[in-house]
């Protein structure tokens, strides 16, 4: 298997040594005994491992400026190749092959035993420069970093083209846009088709595009809970065009149209939700179960927000980790209990508790009082706009007495001191080693 992959002309990336990160190609392969694998000729070699004779590019042509002299400019434009014997474990084979061949009587392992023979071999290897100047095998003479940047540009152009397609066609009930300036993450909206159990529903989806898109399918998930035979509880979708039947010809619009079709005609032969698949043939029971599922998911998401870890994005505590104690809607009502409140804030907000100052390093020169102060954790309690916090996937198991730690505590100094005294119990959790990851400082 190795001999099939590691064949003459195969492009490899050197993984170790002086030329680590450089591209090279195999000139000749040798087995553990030092025999030439292509001819079968035996050799006398002390290397008891499979290895290859490789030729690569050590230094690429560099930028030339007007201030450079002719000699320096000529030196800068030259390509510096290398020739080396490499262990098969120290190179990474790629799927590419170059059509360059060298005289095996000159470029071989024997060239390493004699200085004159090595100079002769290097003179032949330098003929690579002619290929470079002629523009042949151009991708081989491109630095790995530049290749990555090039592929990123291809991806960017493709996604911009698809965005224009979605916007110009203007398909009713379908929309998709990138999340901010990140073109590789999109949010899509899909309206339930008429005449189906999903009529009147609006679903949100997330699309994540890999670096090798469109040759690899994007990861598509429902972010809105969807009771469907081919959608699981986490939003994962079973759709053939997103898996084995994917084609580079498909676009975001194609995916959304296929998903809309899936809502109307599910594939019950390969369900992700067995209960939904079994009820599909009974519209009345399906609609009833779907309604119950959506209510359950909605209440679960509301209740689960308490304890949700967030990162504060603005204000004095920007960059600090905190967790939600209680959520409030635009009217100031408590979302979990439904109790109305009188609040001038006309935006959804949360009461959060977080860590302002983390324990610091203690030295021997510090006194007891200073050392005790340094080891303390300084928490904070604050009301935050939902737009000013970034929710994470983590949840802490800490709860506080809602009669003490609430919005009312901000109206009275004594009540706030009482709430802060309760919040300081976080220090006990920190010392006990519970939720340790929460008490680790974020570094930007």
User: Is the backbone peptide bond immediately before 214 cis, with ω within 30 degrees of 0?
Assistant: yes
Do residue 93 and residue 198 come from a single domain? no
Secondary structure, 3-state, 242-281: HCCCCCCCCCHHHHHHHHHHHHHCCCCCCCCCHHHHHHCC
Q: How many angstroms separate the CA atoms of 316 and 198, rounded?
A: 45
> CA of 232: how far to CAs of 108, 223, 235, 272, in Å?
59, 11, 5, 5
Residue at 37 is within a domain? no
Cβ 422 vs Cβ 401: under 8 Å: yes
Do residue 123 and residue 158 come from a single domain? no
Q: How many angstroms separate the CA atoms of 132 and 128, rounded?
A: 6
Do residue 24 and residue 75 come from a single domain? yes
Q: How many angstroms separate the CA atoms of 420 and 422, rounded?
A: 5
Do residue 162 and residue 286 come from a single domain? yes
**226 noted as active-site residue:** no
pLDDT at 165: 87
Provide the 3-class DSSP secondary structure of residue 132. helix
pTM of the predicted model as reported, rounded to 2 decimal places? 0.43
Do residue 135 and residue 176 come from a single domain? no
Residue at 41 is within a domain? no
Report helix angle 252-264 to 144-169, nearest 10: 50
Q: Which 8-state DSSP code applies to residue 175?
A: E
Per-residue pLDDT of the chain (444 residues; tens, 9 = 90+): 445 677 788 888 888 788 887 888 888 888 776 666 555 555 556 677 888 888 887 776 666 667 777 777 767 667 778 888 888 888 888 777 777 777 777 888 877 888 888 888 887 777 766 666 655 555 565 555 444 445 567 788 888 888 888 888 878 888 888 877 778 888 889 998 888 899 888 888 989 998 888 888 899 999 888 899 999 877 889 998 888 888 888 999 999 999 999 998 998 888 888 899 999 999 899 988 988 887 766 655 544 467 788 888 878 888 788 888 888 876 566 555 445 455 667 777 888 888 777 666 667 777 777 777 766 777 888 888 877 887 777 777 667 777 888 888 888 888 888 888 888 877 776 666 665 556 655 543
pLDDT at 51: 86
> Residue 169 maps to which CATH number?
3.10.110.10
Residue at 230 is within a domain? yes
- Pairing label, strands 321-328, 23-30: unpaired
Q: How many angstroms separate the CA atoms of 27 and 307, rounded?
A: 61
Residue at 38 is within a domain? no
- Phi, psi for residue 236 in degrees, rounded to 5: -65, 145
Neighbours of 243 (CB within 10 A): 10
Q: Which of 206, 261, 265 is nearest to 234 (CA)?
A: 206
Residue at 146 is within a domain? no
Q: Which of 336, 304, 358 is nearest to 406 (CA)?
A: 336
Do residue 181 and residue 56 come from a single domain? no
Domain extent for 316: 308-333+344-439
Do residue 247 and residue 376 come from a single domain? no
Residues facing 353 on adjacent strands: 323, 381
Residues 6+ apart with CB under 8 A from 320: 311, 312, 354, 355, 356, 380, 442
Active-site residue identified among 6, 159, 188, 238 = 238
Residues facing 182 on adjacent strands: 179
pLDDT at 370: 75
Residue at 389 is within a domain? yes
Do residue 118 and residue 226 come from a single domain? no
Do residue 27 and residue 123 come from a single domain? yes
pLDDT at 338: 47
In which residue are the tokens 């935050």 written? 384
pLDDT at 220: 92
Neighbours of 381 (CB within 10 A): 21
Residue at 303 is within a domain? no
Do residue 283 and residue 219 come from a single domain? yes
Do residue 20 and residue 99 come from a single domain? yes
Residue at 338 is within a domain? no
Do residue 7 and residue 108 come from a single domain? yes
- What token pair was written down for 295? 């209510």
Cβ 350 vs Cβ 386: under 8 Å: yes
> Residue 107 maps to which CATH number?
2.30.30.770
Q: Which 8-state DSSP code applies to residue 434?
A: T
Structural domains counted in the chain? 3
- Distance from the first to the final alpha carbon of the chain: 45
- What token pair was written down for 105? 């009587």
Q: How many angstroms separate the CA atoms of 36 and 229, rounded?
A: 58
């Amino acid at each position: 298997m190795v001999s099939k992959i590691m064949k003459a002309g195969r492009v490899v990336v050197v993984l170790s040594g002086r030329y680590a990160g450089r591209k090279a190609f195999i000139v000749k392969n040798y087995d553990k005994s030092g025999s030439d694998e292509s001819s079968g000729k035996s050799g006398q070699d002390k290397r008891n491992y499979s290895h290859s004779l490789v030729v690569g590019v050590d230094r690429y042509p560099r930028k030339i400026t007007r201030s450079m002299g002719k000699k320096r400019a000529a030196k800068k434009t030259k390509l510096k190749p290398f020739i080396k014997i490499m262990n098969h474990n120290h190179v990474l084979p790629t799927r590419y092959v170059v059509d360059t061949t060298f005289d095996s009587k000159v470029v071989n392992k024997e060239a390493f035993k004699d200085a004159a023979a090595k100079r002769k071999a290097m003179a032949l290897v330098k003929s690579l420069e002619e290929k470079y100047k002629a523009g042949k095998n151009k991708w081989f003479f491109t630095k790995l970093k530049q290749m990555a940047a090039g592929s990123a540009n291809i991806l960017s152009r493709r996604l911009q083209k698809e965005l224009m397609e979605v916007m110009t066609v203007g398909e009713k009930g379908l929309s998709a846009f990138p999340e901010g300036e990140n073109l590789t993450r999109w949010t899509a909206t899909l309206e339930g088709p008429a005449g189906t159990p999903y009529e009147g529903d609006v679903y949100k989806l997330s699309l994540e595009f890999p670096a090798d898109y469109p040759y690899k399918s994007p990861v598509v998930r429902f972010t809105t809970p969807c009771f469907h035979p081919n959608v699981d509880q986490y939003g994962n979708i079973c759709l053939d065009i997103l898996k084995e039947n994917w084609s580079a010809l498909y676009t975001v619009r194609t995916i959304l149209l296929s998903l809309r079709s899936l809502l109307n005609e599910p594939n019950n032969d390969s369900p992700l939700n067995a209960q939904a698949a079994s009820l599909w043939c009974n519209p009345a029971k399906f609609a009833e179960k779907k309604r119950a599922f959506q209510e359950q998911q909605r209440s679960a998401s509301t209740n689960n927000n308490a304890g949700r870890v967030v990162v504060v994005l603005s204000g004095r505590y920007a960059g600090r980790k905190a967790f939600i104690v209680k959520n409030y809607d635009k009217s100031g009502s408590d979302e979990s209990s439904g109790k109305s409140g009188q609040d001038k804030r006309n935006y959804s907000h949360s009461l959060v508790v977080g860590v302002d100052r983390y324990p610091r390093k203690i030295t021997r020169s510090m006194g007891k009082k200073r050392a005790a102060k340094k080891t303390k954790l300084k928490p904070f309690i604050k009301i935050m706009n939902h737009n000013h916090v970034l929710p994470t996937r983590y949840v802490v198991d800490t709860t506080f007495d809602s009669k003490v730690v609430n919005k009312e505590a901000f109206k009275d100094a004594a009540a706030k001191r009482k709430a802060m005294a309760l919040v300081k119990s976080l220090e006990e959790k920190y010392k006990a080693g519970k939720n340790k990851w929460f008490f680790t400082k974020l570094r930007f």
